[in-house]
């Protein structure tokens, strides 16, 4: 017999989106039950954002010795102890984990059921011997690593982001399949920590990003020793004497790449196996995605979806934004919609960040725009730090409104927040050019790029004539 529970909100999944809904709704007075079949915190905490950034930080630190000479110093990093690196990564997870723990959410008033959940009818969710009938249900089940249908892949013990952080020994030669953000980040981190790394991408490295900015990341990966194969499709995988072999096909025909380990990083898939969506009257499309309206409601208007489960961009910060949309709709009956300006960042060195429309999108819709740019080589903070790789590009309408931005370089992920505000609030170049920012900071590139909009007029022969005329009467 299941225990029957009545609740205002039932959340399925304790990742970023689900936890945000549960905490927010409970602290605002709603009764909440939260189901989670795995670890609290979901992928982001346990096998995603947090461990990957911790590993990247270790990789960046390993470069401190070789880079010391640029500052007039002699320094060296000793032999890298993979066990200690792994302990560092796990330590970061452990330090953040209490923020997502059962105890903390129980303290908020949330009832946490650590079990797999499924729908039994339109408003009832059951799992772990608990049947919850809720006024609203939120699907926050996240996503899993996508596994491509490569012949022979099932014959080798390949890694994904769910397993790569648990390796007891450093990979001797790591094959990375996928040149998107995850593949690039993990390729660079392992290369900087002493691994041989081969990266294979079927199309172009970071193909969804600005090509000029992506080129700087490509060059950085190669400087770190990553062997890059672009336009190379994996056609077969199999075991080898040393570990694994990957056969790839490109313009020059087929070649065989060998390694001790294979990391598959070709994206993530969203699935709802085991949820029994049909019992709740929840429809999916031909690709298996939930059919949602702009308010994140499924075909069952009492059931919402957030985060990766919503089928859009797969970012933790978007999941948090979705949580706010659901809370406004469910608790306050406000018709909040999910439209937003979404920044994205690849945390390589250099970082690559963007927001709003890019050049390709603007040209595709026939928009009239201008590109304003400023290099870090003309930024005093970057010069002082001997780290001038990168630039900012602002895309500006003919009336001076900020349409989008690309930043590549150290700190790009922080700088893009200012650009996000500009795009979201429909600010103009005058707003950014007139902003007072601290000196010396890298954020000055935003102000300088915006200010360049005025340079042709300010420093024209007409302006000089006006100034000379006015000075005659001063």
Say yes or no: 273 and 219 in one domain. no
Q: Which two tokens stand for residue 301?
A: 């208007």
Tokens of 186: 């993990």
Q: What is the pTM of this model?
A: 0.95
Say how far apart CA 114 and CA 111 lie, in whole Å: 10
The whole-number pLDDT of residue 152 equals 97
Residue 262 included in any domain? yes
**Could you tell me the two tokens for 24?**
């927010």
pLDDT value of residue 65: 84
Pair 71, 126 in one domain? yes
Examine residue 164 and state whether it is found in any structural domain, yes or no.
yes
Tell me the three state secondary structure of residue 233.
strand
What pLDDT score was predicted for residue 203? 97
The last residue of one of the domains, among 266, 285, 310, is 266
Measuring CA to CA, which residue among 206, 205, 202, 173 is closest to residue 190? 173
pLDDT of residue 1: 57
Q: Are residues 13 and 126 in the same domain?
A: yes
Check whether residue 203 and residue 248 sit in a common domain: yes
Specify whether 308 is located in the same domain as 372: no
Q: Specify the pLDDT at position 464.
A: 87
Among 232, 249, 266, the domain-final residue is 266
Tens of pLDDT along the chain (474 residues)? 579 999 999 999 999 999 999 999 999 999 999 999 999 999 999 999 999 999 999 999 999 888 888 999 988 888 999 999 999 999 999 999 999 999 999 999 999 999 999 999 999 999 999 999 999 999 999 999 999 999 999 999 999 999 999 999 999 999 999 999 999 999 999 999 999 999 999 999 999 999 999 999 999 999 999 999 999 999 999 999 989 999 999 998 999 999 999 999 999 999 999 999 999 999 999 999 999 999 999 999 999 999 999 999 999 999 999 999 999 999 999 999 998 999 999 999 999 999 999 999 999 999 999 999 999 999 999 999 999 999 999 999 999 999 999 999 999 999 999 999 999 999 999 999 999 999 999 999 999 999 999 988 888 888 888 888 999 998
Length of the chain: 474
> What's the N-to-C CA distance of the chain in angstroms?
92
Q: Give the pLDDT score at 467.
A: 87
| Lookup result for tokens 């985060």 | 307
For 321, the enclosing helix (H) or strand (E) is helix 316-332
422/418 Cα distance (integer angstroms): 6
Q: What is the CATH number of the domain that holds 356?
A: 3.30.390.30
- Residue 136 parent element (H or E): strand 130-139
Main-chain dihedrals φ then ψ at residue 425, nearest 5 degrees: -95, 10
Exposed / middle / buried, residue 367 (Cβ in 10 Å: 0-12, 13-18, 19+): middle
Number of domains in the chain: 3
Check which CATH number belongs to the domain holding 108 and give it.
3.50.50.60
CA–CA gap between residue 454 and residue 368 (Å, rounded): 18
Q: Are 274 and 260 in contact (CB under 8 A)?
A: no
β-pairing verdict for 253-259 and 244-250: antiparallel
Does 139 fall in a domain? Answer: yes
Same domain, 169 and 253: yes
Residue 470, in any domain of the structure:
no
* Domain assignment of residue 70, yes or no: yes
Same domain, 278 and 328: yes
Structural domain includes residue 473: no
> Per the domain annotation, does 88 fall within a domain?
yes
Supply the range of the domain harboring residue 219. 153-266
pLDDT of residue 277: 98
User: Are the beta carbons of 383 and 375 closer than 8 angstroms?
Assistant: no
DSSP state of 155: G
Q: Contact at 8 Å (CB) between 347 and 60?
A: no
421 and 306 within one domain: no
Does residue 136 share a domain with residue 21? yes
How far, rounded to the nearest angstrom, does the alpha carbon of residue 227 sit from its chain's CA centroid?
A: 24
Task: Give the model's pLDDT for residue 343.
Answer: 98
> Rounded to whole angstroms, how far apart are CA atoms 374 and 260?
43
Judge if 326 and 275 occupy the same domain. yes
Q: Which of 266, 294, 320 is the last residue of a domain?
A: 266
Is residue 345 a part of any domain in this protein? no
DSSP letter for 285, please: -
Residues 362 and 321 in one domain: no
Which residues are bridge partners to 375 per DSSP? 391
Same domain, 252 and 297: no
């Amino acid at each position: 017999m299941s225990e029957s529970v009545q609740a205002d909100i039932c959340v399925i999944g304790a990742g970023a989106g689900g936890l945000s809904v549960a905490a927010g709704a409970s602290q605002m007075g709603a009764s909440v039950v939260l189901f989670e079949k795995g670890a609290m915190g979901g992928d982001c905490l346990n096998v995603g954002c947090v461990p990957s950034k911790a590993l990247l930080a270790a990789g960046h630190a390993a470069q401190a010795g070789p880079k010391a000479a640029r500052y007039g110093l002699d320094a060296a990093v000793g032999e890298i102890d993979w066990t200690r690196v792994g302990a560092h990564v796990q330590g970061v997870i452990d330090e953040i984990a209490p923020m997502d723990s059962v105890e903390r959410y129980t303290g908020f008033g949330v009832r946490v059921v650590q079990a797999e959940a499924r729908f039994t009818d339109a408003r009832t969710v059951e799992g772990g011997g608990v049947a919850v009938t809720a006024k609203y249900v939120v699907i926050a089940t996240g996503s899993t690593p996508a596994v491509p249908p490569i012949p022979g892949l099932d014959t080798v013990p390949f890694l994904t982001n769910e397993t790569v952080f648990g390796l007891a020994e450093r990979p001797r030669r790591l094959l990375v399949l996928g040149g998107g953000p995850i593949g690039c980040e993990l390729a660079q981190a392992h290369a900087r920590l002493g691994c041989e790394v081969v990266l294979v991408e079927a199309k172009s490295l970071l193909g969804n990003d600005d090509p000029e900015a992506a080129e700087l990341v490509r060059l950085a990966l190669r400087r770190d020793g990553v062997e890059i194969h672009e336009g190379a499709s994996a056609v077969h995988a199999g075991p080898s004497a040393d570990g694994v072999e990957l056969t790839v096909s490109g313009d020059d025909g087929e070649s065989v790449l060998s390694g001790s380990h294979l990391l598959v990083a070709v994206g993530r898939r969203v699935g709802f196996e085991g949820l029994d969506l049909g019992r709740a009257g929840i429809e999916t499309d031909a690709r298996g995605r939930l059919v949602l309206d702009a308010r994140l409601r499924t075909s069952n208007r009492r059931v919402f979806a957030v985060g990766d489960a919503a089928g859009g961009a797969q970012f933790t910060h978007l999941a948090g934004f979705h949580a706010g949309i659901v809370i406004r709709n469910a608790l306050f009956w406000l018709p909040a919609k999910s439209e937003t300006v979404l920044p994205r960042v690849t945390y390589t060195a250099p970082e690559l960040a963007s927001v709003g429309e890019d050049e390709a999108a603007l040209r595709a819709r026939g928009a009239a725009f201008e590109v304003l740019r400023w290099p870090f080589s003309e930024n005093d903070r970057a010069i002082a730090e001997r780290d001038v790789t990168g630039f900012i590009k602002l895309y500006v309408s003919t009336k001076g409104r900020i349409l989008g931005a690309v930043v590549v370089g150290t700190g790009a992920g922080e700088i893009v927040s200012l650009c996000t505000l500009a795009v979201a609030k429909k600010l103009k170049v005058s707003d950014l050019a007139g902003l007072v920012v601290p000196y010396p900071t890298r954020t000055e590139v935003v102000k300088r790029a915006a200010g360049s909009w005025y340079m042709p007029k300010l420093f024209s022969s007409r302006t000089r004539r006006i100034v000379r005329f006015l000075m005659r009467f001063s």
